[in-house]
Structure 1
């Protein structure tokens, strides 16, 4: 990091008193040298020596000492070298022209030379400033946390500009909080003003905070999307005017910090998403492995239980009831494993749709036949609009959606209550809904119920793993539709999904 140098304070020349003293000594030494050479050189060459001295003073000491050396050179030349000697009187009037030209050339040379020296020093200062900003940007680009950002910022401003700095960042809730404290602040950083700069998105300066004795400048860390924090800067040993003159540099530093903080923010998001993706992959692999390994023995259990129930030799009533219960539980577990396997396939993107133009009535009838035993204790009311068109969908997957919705309704609705299955056309979509009179969903769970392993009632004794609605939403989304749940007036839930209608192919009537 760049260290403080004399040139960083705005002047590369020596201190004023020392510079003027050096200018006077330079003129006296030139007069002494000219006195030693007076017997060998003309007065015109002695004038050149004094002009050279003025030029060197302008280059090395600055404009003010060069002007003093110009006047002093004219006086020394007149006093020691122009007759009558040791007097400011002039014997020949033409020497007045020499004095005037000598003074004019000296002043012009001093002005031009000092200006060039100042421009060169300004260019060197800007080059050092650019290099320091580049080094700061490089360090900020390699920072791994806000602690390092705060440390780099404070070190740069303290060493390069004699400024104390403090950073305030935005937390996950969008509130401004104080960043990590590095070093010992001078006690002039006020959180209230930092919050005001953050809310307004504008810079607060000392003029705005007159008489407060607080930090001189608060700069919001702006990014294209939002304000990421606030940089507070207060002077260590420089004045307010010097601090205000460094506003362009501070604006650049604030921009670099904002870019670094935004980069760290998106790095955290990317890492979180990467971790979530890996977790999903691992979970899907485990689910797929368990489903495949358990499906075969469960299928065997279902077959053995059915064979016991349907055996020709009559079983005792208790044994027959046990065999029937075993068969029902095995089928329920088999459906759960089927849901797990379907979810794993949907998450992995390995399900290919086999869409065909077909009527919804056939899929509804097939789903009712599969759930005949599960719906035995409920009244199922089918309400299909008479003008339902053909819809392009995967019959197997949509049948799974209907089965899951009807099975959920049968699980939670009271026995002998009605379960309604409706299908209508609205706004270019086929709307299918399943209504029940169960306990419904708790308030605020309208979207969470579609997440994996989420259940409407976490403490419910009703069997299930919370995958049914997640699978339904995945299938419907793949078809280009959407799902939603609602609470029915008078109790119960309404779960509906939509399928795009499209334009079915024309069906030609057969001629006799």
Structure 2
């Protein structure tokens, strides 16, 4: 083994060891590789350009050469890549040796501050056919770089390229991590801001709802008191006006309470007061409260199988409001002369109460969205504004462990189906004696 070969092997081990222990900072890695490779071939001047996958300058370092200021560095390195020795190596992917700088057109003449005499060697630093950079070495003596030196340096190229690739990947990972951290912080701030806005909205809404209840109750009390004070109630028109006023005030009270309960349900707070409930009695109350609405709209309202249902452990007030909402919604969207049907039947899963109408129905694409607050169906033949009623129905039924769904009948019209679970049915059966005693 020759002395030169032993020296080259020593340098190779030194360079590979330094690259292995070097940090993944691109600039530091370029400095280390350039300095050690230059020293190994007795060179004091050189440049190392690291390229991205599109062959743009990613980072660059130089030793022993005049360099422009920081503001002009990008343009300087870009110019070197587009012309001269670096460009030749980048496009040919092979080493290029210039024996005499003064006579070779491949040397970039515009850079007068760089040596114009001597020899230069350009090396492609690549691995797996991927060019990671170009290394330029300059020596003041003509013909300094021989074939054996070039072969040895090319043996080093894959190891240096691998180190550059790792540094580039690490830099990309750092940039991505910083980007996603910024996005996370931005999303976190926006989420906190939205949460604060939602809290303020909920507080304001609750305050408005609470403040509305008192004047509405005063209206009810005033109408009731006025009715007692009026001496002659034989006038049916006057009696109807009192009934209308009291019914409207009662409806407003129910709406305000419904909005309050909707807020609580959305926050995950319980509003249920479960107790043994006779469903036939509950449905009779629902019919009593909704029949005037249907008759005023010249619609028929029919209840089926209401007397065949078992008792259940539910909140009767909440389920009553759910069914009233569904029936009033059906009435609102059913033309005069139409029909509204309420069919209640036991099922394997519990009890199902279906409210169907002969209105225009609901387009398939909207059926998953109508239980959202203030959702509107805008189809020409199916225009519906659902406000808060269906949103309350969904949350109230789900709070009971049940489900609510909507579909269209083959002959036309919508069907809203409420299923109350078997668990509530079983609990009610266990408490049937308490129900009978009440």
TM-score (ref. length: structure 2): 0.59
1:356 and 2:275 correspond: yes
| Alignment check: 8 A CA contact 1:308 1:320 kept | no
Query: Secondary structure at the residue paired with 1:450?
Result: coil
* Corresponding residue number in structure 2 for 1:368: 287
Q: In structure 2, which of residues 387, 391, 395 is the aligned counterpart of residue 474 of structure 1?
A: 395
Query: Secondary structure at the residue paired with 2:406?
Result: strand
Q: In structure 2, which of residues 7, 12, 15 is the aligned counterpart of residue 121 of structure 1?
A: 15
1:280 and 2:161 correspond: no
* Corresponding residue number in structure 1 for 2:324: 403
The alpha-carbon deviation at position 430 of structure 1 amounts to: 2.5
1:303 and 2:191 correspond: no
| Alignment check: 8 A CA contact 1:305 1:324 kept | no
Q: Determine the C-alpha separation between the residues in 2 that align with 1:266 and 1:440.
A: 43
Note the 1:84-483 alignment, pairs <5 A. Answer: 110=6, 115-130=9-24, 162-164=50-52, 237=134, 245=162, 246-257=164-175, 259-260=177-178, 263=181, 266-267=184-185, 270-308=188-226, 311-314=230-233, 323-377=242-296, 378-384=299-305, 388-456=309-377, 466-483=387-404
Structure 1 residues 501 and 508 mapped into 2: Cα distance closer, same or farther (>3 Å)? closer
Query: Secondary structure at the residue paired with 1:162?
Result: strand
| Alignment check: 8 A CA contact 1:285 1:344 kept | no
Query: Secondary structure at the residue paired with 1:438?
Result: coil
Q: 1 or 2, which has the higher strand percentage?
A: 2
Note the 1:50-89 alignment, pairs <5 A. Answer: 67-68=3-4
Structure 1 residues 362 and 351 mapped into 2: Cα distance closer, same or farther (>3 Å)? same
What are the ranges of 5 or more consecutive residues in structure 2 without an aligned counterpart?
Answer: 30-46, 55-73, 79-90, 92-124, 137-153, 434-438
The alpha-carbon deviation at position 366 of structure 1 amounts to: 2.6
| Alignment check: 8 A CA contact 1:298 1:330 kept | yes
Query: Secondary structure at the residue paired with 1:449?
Result: coil
Listed one character per residue, the Cα deviations across residues 360-387 of structure 1 (whole Å, up to 9, x for unaligned) are 2232223223334324343222223776
The alpha-carbon deviation at position 328 of structure 1 amounts to: 4.2
Bigger Rg, structure 1 or 2: 1
Query: Secondary structure at the residue paired with 1:448?
Result: coil
Count of residues in Structure 1 that have an aligned counterpart in Structure 2 = 322
The alpha-carbon deviation at position 469 of structure 1 amounts to: 0.6
| Alignment check: 8 A CA contact 1:380 1:418 kept | yes
Q: Determine the C-alpha separation between the residues in 1 that align with 2:303 and 2:367.
A: 25
The alpha-carbon deviation at position 468 of structure 1 amounts to: 0.6
* Corresponding residue number in structure 2 for 1:200: none
Structure 1 residues 322 and 394 mapped into 2: Cα distance closer, same or farther (>3 Å)? closer
TM-score (ref. length: structure 1): 0.51
Q: Determine the C-alpha separation between the residues in 2 that align with 1:386 and 1:244.
A: 84
The alpha-carbon deviation at position 473 of structure 1 amounts to: 0.8
Q: Determine the C-alpha separation between the residues in 2 that align with 1:160 and 1:356.
A: 82
Structure 1 residues 363 and 235 mapped into 2: Cα distance closer, same or farther (>3 Å)? same
Q: Determine the C-alpha separation between the residues in 2 that align with 1:382 and 1:321.
A: 27
Q: Tell me: higher relative CO, structure 1 or 2? Use CA pairs within 8 A at least 6 residues apart.
A: 2
Listed one character per residue, the Cα deviations across residues 371-423 of structure 1 (whole Å, up to 9, x for unaligned) are 34324343222223776444332222222211211221222223343211122
| Alignment check: 8 A CA contact 2:24 2:167 kept | no
Q: Determine the C-alpha separation between the residues in 2 that align with 1:468 and 1:382.
A: 21
Q: Determine the C-alpha separation between the residues in 1 that align with 2:240 and 2:310.
A: 45
- C-alpha RMSD of the superposition: 4.5
Q: Determine the C-alpha separation between the residues in 2 that align with 1:347 and 1:278.
A: 16
| Alignment check: 8 A CA contact 2:223 2:242 kept | yes
| Alignment check: 8 A CA contact 1:284 1:348 kept | no
What are the ranges of 5 or more consecutive residues in structure 1 without an aligned counterpart?
Answer: 1-62, 69-106, 136-158, 167-182, 187-205, 207-215, 218-232
Structure 1 residues 393 and 130 mapped into 2: Cα distance closer, same or farther (>3 Å)? same
